[in-house]
Amino acid sequence: MITTSTRLEGIGEYYFSQKLREIDELNKQGKNIISLGIGSPDLPPHPDVIKVLQEESAKPNTHAYQSYKGSPVLRAAISNWYAAWYGVNLHPDTEILPLIGSKEGIMHICMTYLNVGDEVLIPNPGYPTYSSAVTLAGGTIRPYHLTEQHNWQPDLEMLNKTDLSRVKLMFVNYPHMPTGQLPTKAFFSELVKWAAAKNILLVHDNPYSFILNDHPMSLLSIDGARECVIELNSLSKSQNMAGWRVGMLCAAKERIDEVLRFKSNMDSGMFLPVQLAAAKALGLGKDWYDSINTIYKQRREKVFGLLNLLQCSFSKDQVGMFVWAKIPAGYKDGYALSDEVLYNANVFITPGGIFGSEGNNYVRVSLCCREENIEAAILRVQREKELKATKEKQLSNQ
């Protein structure tokens, strides 16, 4: 009998992969599910970006294997982007490594640095891929708890009371997904000092910093960060290029060289026209970010209305392309509310528990959906609530 490797033990199918298959089956039954679950931008990239891809793809000399370190044009564009928007100066030849999506970088980092038994601090709630990548690389997951009471930030004093001797990496992600919590410079400075003192490599996943946020921040902007920080970034959200798979890893030269030892054995570079189009995207000005954020602001107001209808509580100060909300009393957890809305109103919202146990009493709603669909979802939920109230009244009168 052919068996899978032991490294897959405990690694299940990604939640959204499974749920989308279920939603597809419901749609085949005529349910016409409105999905407000996944953060896949439904808006297109800038027309000039698409034009560059078309023009470069038509050239006869752009189809060969590319450099493992990416095109110099793309690396220069990333360097300029970081300088312009984050105030961080990165050497394009030594401190930047383009990626086929930042999700790839998470795996590369784990495979580069982790040995069996090495521990990794993983945010709870947080992006599930962090845990999967650590497990696949042979590391041991050490969840650290984020709570609303602590502003969804790690309690470093509490961590200091635990044995951190085997901790090698710590994943952090601000603006935070799924809670939308913004970082402050003071928090970033404290985090860098703490990690440096503990000899822990911080991996900062930073794809949401431009969405509904006027002040993008990079962890690399903090003094001393290059000694203990690797930052991942992406064009998926900020440039509406999720399916293009363009990301980046930014760090000191030593870290870039170390990760490249693994990455260069995994792929043969990115299609050059995609890289050149990405470089064009990174050169877009403030008007671009303002235009997409205007749309997200309008959608967010509609989502606030939906969550109010569901009697959820939430902060209006959160950023990113989701709204994180606490479920009302009477529901066991976010799964129960999500299932009720899905099966009764044909609307899908994400249960917060998929991001970790600290998300059990929350749900997450995506802004990657047209306003008219959010309005339709509101009408469906309202109709279902009215039907439920009518039935309860009839039962009470019997």
Domain assignments of the chain as residue spans, ordered by start: 6-44+287-397, 47-284
Of 180, 187, 127, nearest in space to 156 by CA: 187
Q: What sign does the dihedral 345-350-354-360 (CA atoms) show?
A: negative
Overall fold of domain 6-44+287-397 = Aspartate Aminotransferase, domain 1 (3.90.1150)
Predicted confidence pLDDT, tens digits, the chain (398 residues): 898 888 887 777 677 778 888 888 999 999 999 999 888 899 999 999 999 999 999 999 999 989 889 999 999 999 999 999 999 999 999 999 999 999 999 999 999 999 999 999 999 999 999 999 999 999 999 999 999 999 999 999 999 999 999 999 999 999 999 999 999 999 999 999 999 999 999 999 999 999 999 999 999 999 999 999 999 999 999 999 999 999 999 999 999 999 999 999 999 899 999 999 999 999 999 999 999 999 999 999 999 999 999 999 999 999 999 999 999 999 999 999 999 999 999 999 999 999 999 999 999 999 999 999 999 999 999 999 888 878 777 777 76
Eight-class DSSP state of 43: S
Q: Report pTM.
A: 0.93
Residue type for position 168: K
Q: What sign does the dihedral 302-303-308-314 (CA atoms) show?
A: negative
d(CA 77, CA 280): 8
> What CATH architecture does domain 47-284 belong to?
3-Layer(aba) Sandwich (3.40)
Residues whose CB falls within 8 Å of the CB of residue 121, separated by 6 or more in sequence, listed in order: 142, 143, 144, 154, 159, 167, 169, 170, 171, 200
